[in-house]
Amino acid sequence: MTTFADLGLDPKVLSAVTDAGYTEPTPIQAGAIPPALAGRDVLGIAQTGTGKTASFVLPMITLLGRGRARARMPRSLVLAPTRELAAQVAANFDTYAKNTKLTKALLIGGVSFKEQDALIDKGVDVLIATPGRLLDHFERGKLLLTGVQIMVVDEADRMLDMGFIPDIERIFQLTPFTRQTLFFSATMAPEIERVTNTFLSAPEKIEVARRATTAESIEQGVVKYTATRKDRQASEKRALLRALIDGEGEKCKNAIIFCNRKTEVDIVAKSLKKYGYDAAPIHGDLDQSQRTRTLAAFRDGSLRFLIASDVAARGLDIPDVSHVFNYDVPSHAEDYVHRIGRTGRAGKLGKALTICVPHDEKWLAAIEDLVEKEIPRVESPLKGGAKARRDRDVQDDAAPAKEAPAAPAPRPRDTAADPAPTAPRTPRDRDRDRDRDRGGRNRRGGKSGRDDAVVGMGDHMPAFLTRSFKPKPDPETTEETAD
């Protein structure tokens, strides 16, 4: 049996690994570390939760052991798709490099340049970054990548999903072709294959069995739910979520609740808080300090419910999540696997419950296709079927305790979804966002056959300029038409 001691790591690294409580490498670690230490390129095909991070951090620290950093010329570079993942890699680096003098800088967006600049100027051994912020530093002439000896790309398939591949290719070209490359992806999409063919040389390929999608450690269930009335869908769905949480009782130590949209994340978090649940939102529109604080609180157990967009679906290592609730069925089947994979980790048991409204049935079918299993149907904890709910519906607001037994009385009205206090986004906002988009990636191509263009507005004429100024009555908000 292989132990870490057999892998040829620097003794300082080895003792840090031992201190962290590990003796036996995971398959990806056992496979990737020896060739990496031998200076070879590595192509690792592995999901998160397989010990992937240590499989590049440990050899990297060992290889960088000799030599020291020069100003503005980092000796190695790790690229991750999200800020949280980059921060997680940085934390791993700190853990395993604690007996060395190696230095690092974390270059992510949403925080000030100042500290990052100071570190780069001084010189760091390891740069851990998201692509956008890294290129930003480079373009401002603060950074030279010609000294990079080792480059790591983590979660490449997610980079692909997020449109980062052109950035990654550009960064590759800024580093010396003699560099060593360690490249990790959960899947080998054709586009990923093309990149590895271009930038890796004779890589050692290590493929680790996909983490069982329906791990026995995760109990799964789907709750089908149909609104009694269209205009009640949102608030009933939140009531159902509360009932599901309450139904789990003490067993639900903590949970991540996934929503498909950022606005929904905010609404659900606000609603749960209103009902006395210890909940906080996390998604990409929140500022970085809040994201960091919220995640830290959830990790250390001081926050019980994390309401999240898919920013938290992949890669994040949060030990001890007892439950995952999918408030929405994810529209990409893969994401389901990633989301529920946040629970049932490290030998612990977990439970994943998914709420499915009729509109989402096709996505549910796609998920069951992917995992090649039927997810057990679970009866809705809200009493009775649709008919019973319809009958009860009239006095919904007057029947407090029934739906949320654990909620503190008096039951506040769930007004989280009421017209927002902040102004709704206008087409103009969206156009401004698109203008900001860099590289014009998301820009409309061609003339799109519009013959009513307004002179002087280029391709970015706000849509409302071509419409009547008189607002149409909105069928969604006119109660009378609901039945």
Partner DNA sequence: AAAAAAG
* 323 is a contact residue toward DNA (CB under 7 A): no
* 10 is a contact residue toward DNA (CB under 7 A): no
CA–CA distance, 114 with 466 (Å, rounded to integer): 44
* 439 is a contact residue toward DNA (CB under 7 A): yes
Q: Give the binding range for DNA (CB under 7 A) out of 240-248, 255-263, 445-453, 475-483.
A: 255-263
* 283 is a contact residue toward DNA (CB under 7 A): yes
Q: Give the binding range for DNA (CB under 7 A) out of 189-197, 256-264, 364-372, 413-421.
A: 256-264
CA–CA distance, 74 with 96 (Å, rounded to integer): 19
Q: Least CB distance from residue 262 to DNA, whole Å? A: 4
Q: Least CB distance from residue 442 to DNA, whole Å? A: 7
CA–CA distance, 311 with 331 (Å, rounded to integer): 14
Which residues 209-238 are close enough to bind DNA by CB under 7 A?
A: none
- Print the binding letters for residues 76-115 with DNA: x by CB under 7 A, - otherwise: -----xxxx-----------------------xxxx----
Closest CA to 184 of 154, 151, 207: 154
Q: Least CB distance from residue 83 to DNA, whole Å? A: 4
Residue 19 or 435 with smaller CB distance to DNA: 435
Which residues does 262 contact at the CB level (< 8 Å), separation at least 6? Answer: 283, 284, 285, 309
Q: Least CB distance from residue 132 to DNA, whole Å? A: 3
* 362 is a contact residue toward DNA (CB under 7 A): no
* 135 is a contact residue toward DNA (CB under 7 A): yes
Residue 298 zone, left/alpha/beta (φ > 0; ψ -120 to 50; rest): alpha
* 410 upstream amide cis, omega within 30 of 0: yes
Q: Least CB distance from residue 263 to DNA, whole Å? A: 6
For the CA atoms of the chain, what is the radius of gyration?
Answer: 25
Are β-strands 42-45 and 180-185 bridged in parallel, bridged antiparallel, or unpaired? Answer: parallel
Out of 10, 41, 125, 136, the residue judged to bind DNA by CB under 7 A: 136
Which residues 365-394 are close enough to bind DNA by CB under 7 A?
A: none
* 270 is a contact residue toward DNA (CB under 7 A): no
Tell me which amino acid residue 76 is.
S
Residue 37 or 357 with smaller CB distance to DNA: 357
* 316 is a contact residue toward DNA (CB under 7 A): no
Closest CA to 39 of 182, 205, 237, 252: 182
Q: Least CB distance from residue 411 to DNA, whole Å? A: 26
- DSSP string of 300-345? TTS--EEEE-GGGTSS---TT--EEEESS--SSHHHHHHHHTTSS-
Q: Least CB distance from residue 288 to DNA, whole Å? A: 8
| Site of tokens 């069928």 | 475
Closest CA to 309 of 283, 270, 347: 283
* 436 is a contact residue toward DNA (CB under 7 A): yes
* 163 is a contact residue toward DNA (CB under 7 A): yes
Q: Least CB distance from residue 134 to DNA, whole Å? A: 7
* 155 is a contact residue toward DNA (CB under 7 A): no
| # residues contacting DNA (CB under 7 A) | 41
Q: Least CB distance from residue 166 to DNA, whole Å? A: 11
CA–CA distance, 129 with 89 (Å, rounded to integer): 9
C-alpha atoms less than 13 angstroms from C-alpha of 164 in its C-beta half-sphere:
24
Q: What is the DSSP letter of 400?
A: H
| Site of tokens 């809200």 | 382
Q: Least CB distance from residue 69 to DNA, whole Å? A: 22
* 413 is a contact residue toward DNA (CB under 7 A): no
CA–CA distance, 199 with 457 (Å, rounded to integer): 41
For the four alpha carbons of 121, 122, 127 and 133, in that order, the dihedral sign comes to: negative
Residue 170 or 392 with smaller CB distance to DNA: 170
Asked if residues 160 and 189 have their Cβ atoms less than 8 Å apart, the reply is: yes
Out of 357, 366, 378, 406, the residue judged to bind DNA by CB under 7 A: 357
CA–CA distance, 169 with 462 (Å, rounded to integer): 34
Name the residues that contact DNA, by CB under 7 A. Answer: 81-84, 108-111, 130-136, 139, 161-164, 260-264, 283-285, 309-311, 328, 331-332, 357, 359-360, 436-439
